[in-house]
Amino acid sequence: MGDIQVCIPYATLGPPEAQRSRTWWLTNFGKPRYDSFHIPSAVFNNPDRPIPISSISSSTDTGLTAFAQLGALRLNASRALISLFDRQHQYVVAEATRSMPLSPNTKYPTQNHLWLCGTAIPRTFGICEHVLVGATQDQETPSTRLQTAPSYESELPVSVVPDLAADRRFCNRPYINAAPYNRFYAGVPIRSPKGINIGVYCIFDDRPRSGLDADSVQFLRDMSRTIMDYLHARRVTESYRRSERMVQGLGNFIEGRDDPVPTAGPTPRPSPNGFDPTVLGACWWW
């Protein structure tokens, strides 16, 4: 069983098998290898009673915000989002428009307002769910099918919706005909080295487009890998800090000292909505 995680890339599985693979990764490990600082503090954003846009703040991680803004700038899009997923929710851990400053945990005026940053939405409410698990042919017609850029097995698939208002799956979503008036979408999965899609990097624009050119497609793939490397590097750093604290604590114990061990960094706050970062993190064993 140990070879399954390596031998069966997530992207090659059909929707039922992919979901079972994701569930296996989520439930068969006790301790996550990546402790998120964003997921525990995420606020549930009920699609029926959405959080006012004026209450949405930028991410505390300016690195992720910069990655999002680079996508909006390079692809001349209205905004870009970075999301991570568990079995039920999509967590928007970073969002940026083209012109907003890179200030952490900041609310912005109307012209730079954020949409979903720092919130969790049901997976079925977003468009990124289709990028994460793949669209099935029997649910689509040629006119509504997610356009996927050609890719080889080793490449990340880039999915495009030229006009959300013309796509029967998304045309009735409130974010199409009301703020932020999304019309164009392009997204790429964020994939771990073990082949598990843990999130999505995407852009939205308020005007429909015919698609993306080859350079834009490659940019999205490159950004996805860059974000994965960033998350991995952050996990390694935090793991080192925890180990350092453990060694210091053991040293104090052996020497009979009661000196408090300094904290290794910000500690995730318990979520007021019951989200379990341990369950989410269990899928990030890369």
Q: Is the dihedral angle over the CA atoms 201, 84, 86, 154 positive or is it negative?
A: positive
**Per the confidence metrics, is the pTM higher than 0.85?**
no
- Whether the pLDDT of residue 66 is over 70: the answer is yes
Residue 12, domain member (yes or no)? yes
Residues contacting residue 23 through CB under 8 Å, at least 6 positions apart: 87
Helical ranges in 100-213 per DSSP H: 128-133, 174-177
The predicted pLDDT at position 247 comes to: 72
CATH code, 73: 3.30.450.40
Count the alpha carbons within 13 Å of 1 in the hemisphere toward its beta carbon: 4
- Residue 191 lies inside a defined structural domain of this protein: yes
Q: Element (H or E) spanning 191, and its range?
A: strand 184-191
For residues 45 and 121, is the Cβ–Cβ distance under 8 A? yes
Cis check: omega of the bond before 150, within 30 degrees of 0 = no
Tell me whether residue 16 is in a domain. Answer: yes
List, for residues 135-154, the tens digit of each pLDDT value: 333 334 333 345 655 554 46
- The residue among 159, 152, 156, 150 whose CA lies nearest residue 196 is 156
Domain of residue 30 covers 4-250
Residue 262 lies in a domain: no
Residue 285 lies in a domain: no
Residue 213 within a domain: yes
Query: d(Cα 94, Cα 31) in Å, to the nearest integer?
Result: 24
Query: Does any domain span residue 266?
Result: no
* Type of residue found at 88: Q
- At 215-253, the pLDDT tens digits run 999 999 999 999 999 998 886 766 656 666 677 777 777
Q: What is the rounded distance in angstroms from the CA atom of residue 284 to the CA atom of residue 194?
A: 9
> What pLDDT was estimated at residue 254?
80
Closest to 50 in 3D by CA, of 100, 114, 138, 105: 114
pLDDT category at 280 given cuts 50, 70, 90 is very low
Mean of pLDDT values over 20-25: 45
Q: What is the band of 17 on the pLDDT scale with cuts at 50, 70, 90?
A: low
Does any domain span residue 264?
no
The span from the first CA to the last CA of the chain, in angstroms, equals: 16
- Model confidence at 263, in pLDDT bands (50, 70, 90)? low
Q: How many domains does the chain have?
A: 1
The pLDDT of 58-85, averaged and rounded, is 96
**Burial (CB count <10 Å: 0-12, 13-18, 19+), residue 8:** middle
